[in-house]
């Protein structure tokens, strides 16, 4: 939006010849630059106020506001006033009633628009100043020569025809030197307004031979370009005519190729060709395949190593895994092979210790039984040598088995094997830790006097089981079986007597039971330091209860 006012035909002072022409010239220039221009020529005070009001109403939503004034202007006490054509100004009291304050327009612009440009060509030699000075007497110094400096808000630029306090020349031509330079340079394509004003200042200095120096006060925060630089695009080159038959023949010759260069050459020759999209897809496919082949070739082939491992993974010989490590020291299964070697060695050591303990226990039992009369009455073929689990302690000669790292399946298999060994049957050893395995572990804990925190596989429970050298869980006989000499044997059914219709039954009596049941208890149970209370059935038919003696490792048994 632009407001242009030019006052030349003054009623009470001499006429100015150029402001009317200056305003017309600026209006045409601004319209060419795309401004919506409000123009006022030779305006009275009433007309000036109405024109300014119409301009201010149009500022809502404007990107830029511009105000140009040519005519008489006056400064009193540092304030600038624009003088309408009907002003008399015979006294300083007439200023507020006959002149328009310049700040009235500038303040309204700054309140409505972010970018504001003000051009004042009103610094001419002014007869109104003489009248005001005479009327003010001793205060005549308050009437200044030319216009006073105007402070601008952020985003505003105020340009004067000459520096503050000086008088601008009206010029000899159709327009004043200042306005002529504005019309010439304002809106240079692609050029900032500050650069435009530099060129205006040069022209005015040259035209006035250095007597008049245009001056401006700017608080703009960015470049203001009134006319964009037109970019002239070069004419498009005429594309050569493409023969469809030649393009089709070319495509048929390369479409099965596996080299991306074929399709890149096609695209360079026919960038908008019929098969351009397909050519780009083929290029992507060929490059992707080449990258995949490169990665696959860089990756080592592990097929032989995997096959080797699958061949030995279930072996129980350490040399198999040592051979694997020798061939593949940094192989996929190197860590697992090390664990396998440790596990096999640990199991071998544990088995050797167990056999040694079993042999030692067997010798001890044999020595104890040889001193008992009962020993001679029992046939060697019928006796059973078993040992009890030591729940809390092991003989001082036994050394703890080294800790081994087993997989969950290996740990379950080892526990099942040990539970079967101590008489707590889990059935088939398959590594599947089910209800029967948990029940067997519960029975073991109850019979051994151990409180188990969990019935799941645990390495600590496995170590405790390995310390046992004999049966822990009591032997349970099935239907039509009876416990005899530590074994379950079939119950004998007596043959029917020829002298009786009912079959005779043989009842056991206590007459055949020994006086001292401890011998039998020690023979069946064996050494069990700190053993909990156990109940046994003697082959004679009576039951006995045995308790361990911590000091002598000898069981004391009593008949029930």
Give the mean pLDDT of 84-99. Answer: 85
Q: What is the pLDDT of residues 96-134, one digit of tens each?
A: 898 999 889 999 998 989 999 999 988 655 667 666 656
Q: What is the pLDDT of residues 274-301, one digit of tens each?
A: 899 999 999 999 999 988 888 877 766 7
Q: Which of 110, 177, 111, 190 is nearest to 150 (CA)?
A: 110
Distance, in Å, from the CA atom of 335 to the CA atom of 325, rounded to the nearest integer, reads 9
Does position 507 have pLDDT exceeding 50, yes or no? no
User: How much is the pLDDT for 126?
Assistant: 66
User: How much is the pLDDT for 391?
Assistant: 45
Point out which residues pair with 489 in neighbouring strands.
482
- pLDDT grade for 498, boundaries at 50, 70 and 90: very low
* SS3 sequence of 168-223: CCCCCCCCCHHHHHHHHHCCCCCCEHHHHHHHHHHHHHHHCCCCCCCEEEECCCCC
Helix (H) or strand (E) holding 116: strand 116-121
Q: Which of 559, 551, 485 is nearest to 518 (CA)?
A: 559
User: How much is the pLDDT for 151?
Assistant: 64
Distance, in Å, from the CA atom of 274 to the CA atom of 248, rounded to the nearest integer, reads 8
- Mean pLDDT is lowest, of 35-39, 231-235, 448-452, for 231-235
Does position 249 have pLDDT exceeding 80, yes or no? yes
Distance, in Å, from the CA atom of 63 to the CA atom of 33, rounded to the nearest integer, reads 14
Q: What is the pLDDT of residues 136-177, one digit of tens each?
A: 443 333 444 556 667 667 889 999 988 876 777 777 788 999
User: How much is the pLDDT for 167?
Assistant: 76
> Where are any strands of DSSP class E within 387-480?
none
Q: Which of 47, 48, 23, 178 is nearest to 104 (CA)?
A: 48
The model's pTM: 0.44
Q: What is the pLDDT of residues 481-493, one digit of tens each?
A: 776 766 777 776 6
User: How much is the pLDDT for 387?
Assistant: 42
Average pLDDT, the chain: 81
């Amino acid at each position: 939006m632009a407001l242009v006012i030019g006052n030349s035909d003054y009623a009470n002072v001499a006429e100015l010849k150029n402001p009317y022409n200056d305003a017309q010239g600026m209006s045409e220039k601004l319209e060419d630059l795309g401004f919506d221009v409000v123009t006022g020529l030779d305006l009275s005070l009433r007309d000036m106020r109405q024109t300014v009001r119409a301009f201010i109403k149009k500022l809502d939503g404007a990107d830029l506001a511009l105000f140009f004034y040519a005519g008489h202007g006056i400064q009193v006490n540092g304030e600038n006033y624009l003088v309408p054509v009907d002003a008399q100004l015979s006294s300083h009291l007439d200023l507020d009633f006959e002149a328009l304050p310049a700040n009235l327009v500038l303040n309204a612009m700054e309140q409505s628009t972010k970018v504001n440009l003000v051009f004042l060509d009103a610094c001419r030699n002014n007869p109104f100043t003489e009248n005001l000075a005479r009327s003010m007497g001793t205060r005549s110094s308050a009437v200044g020569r030319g216009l006073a400096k105007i402070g601008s808000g952020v985003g505003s630029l105020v340009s004067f025809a000459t520096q503050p306090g000086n008088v601008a020349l009206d010029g000899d031509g159709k327009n004043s030197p200042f306005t002529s330079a504005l019309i010439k340079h304002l809106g240079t394509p692609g050029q900032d307004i500050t650069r435009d004003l530099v060129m205006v200042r040069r022209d005015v200095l040259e035209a006035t031979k250095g007597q008049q120096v245009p001056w401006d006060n700017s608080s703009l925060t960015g470049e203001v370009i009134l006319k964009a630089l037109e970019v002239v695009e070069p004419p498009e080159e005429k594309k050569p005519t493409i023969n469809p038959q030649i393009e089709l023949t070319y495509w048929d010759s390369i479409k099965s190729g596996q080299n991306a260069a074929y399709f890149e050459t096609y695209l360079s020759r026919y960038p908008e060709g019929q098969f351009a999209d397909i050519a780009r897809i083929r290029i992507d496919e060929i490059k992707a395949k080449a990258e995949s082949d490169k990665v696959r070739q860089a990756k080592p082939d592990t097929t032989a190593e995997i096959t080797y491992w699958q061949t030995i993974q279930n072996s129980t010989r350490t040399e198999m895994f040592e051979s694997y490590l020798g061939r593949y020291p940094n192989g996929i299964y190197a860590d697992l092979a090390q664990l396998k070697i440790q596990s096999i060695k640990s199991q071998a050591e544990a088995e050797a210790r167990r056999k040694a303990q079993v042999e030692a226990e067997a010798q001890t039992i044999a020595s104890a039984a040889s001193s008992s009369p009962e020993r001679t009455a029992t046939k060697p073929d019928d006796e059973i040598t078993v040992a009890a689990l030591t729940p809390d302690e092991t003989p001082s000669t036994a050394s703890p088995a080294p800790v081994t790292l087993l997989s969950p399946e290996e740990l379950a298999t080892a526990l099942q094997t040990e539970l079967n060994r101590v008489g707590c049957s889990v059935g088939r050893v398959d590594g599947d830790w089910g209800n029967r395995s948990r029940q067997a572990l519960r029975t073991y804990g109850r019979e051994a006097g151990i409180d188990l925190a969990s019935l799941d596989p645990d390495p600590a429970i496995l170590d405790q089981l390995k310390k046992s050298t004999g049966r822990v869980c009591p032997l349970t006989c099935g239907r039509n079986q009876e416990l005899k000499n530590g074994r379950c044997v079939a119950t004998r059914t007596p043959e029917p007597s020829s002298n009786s219709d009912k079959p005779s039954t043989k009842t056991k009596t206590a007459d055949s039971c020994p006086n001292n049941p401890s011998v039998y208890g020690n023979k069946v149970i064996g050494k069990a330091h700190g053993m909990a209370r156990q109940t046994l059935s003697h082959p004679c038919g009576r039951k006995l209860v045995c308790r361990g003696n911590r000091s002598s490792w000898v069981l004391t048994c009593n008949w029930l």
